[in-house]
Amino acid sequence: MSEERNADKGGKRLKERTREFALRTIRLYAALPKSTVAQVLGKQLLRSGTSVGAHYREGSRSRSHAEFVSKLEGALQELEESRYWLELLEAERLVPTAVLAPLVQEADELTAMIIASVRTVKARENTKR
């Protein structure tokens, strides 16, 4: 299989996983207690968790490698922010750890995948120079 096909498969997988991460974030928000603290933290999580896929999709339509990297770095920032809100929900015992753990794990895995993509693009750019 060519390198381009592998990259395309990885891109489709990331597209699907970032979408699923957004959907899982939406479901978590919908299930949160109606307390003010839970709702404030939840809305922050909702914004950041759904933005990951938006940044990724914007990047997939970018006009340059630099723009692509910039969008992926935006997705990384949103993942880090999402992880922070998940940690606060857990620390305040608003959601059981067992419920949050799979979402935290997915955030970590997406982070690793996107970091690898950024490194690959940057390495290709460096070899072209």
pLDDT value at position 58? 96
User: Structural domain tally of the chain?
Assistant: 1
Global confidence as pTM: 0.88
Average confidence (pLDDT) per 10 residues, the chain, 129 residues: 47 93 99 98 99 97 94 98 98 97 98 96 82
Q: Which domain holds residue 114?
A: 3-128
Give 21's contacts (C-beta < 8 A, 6+ positions apart). 49, 52, 53, 103, 106, 107, 110
CATH of the domain at 82: 1.20.1440.60
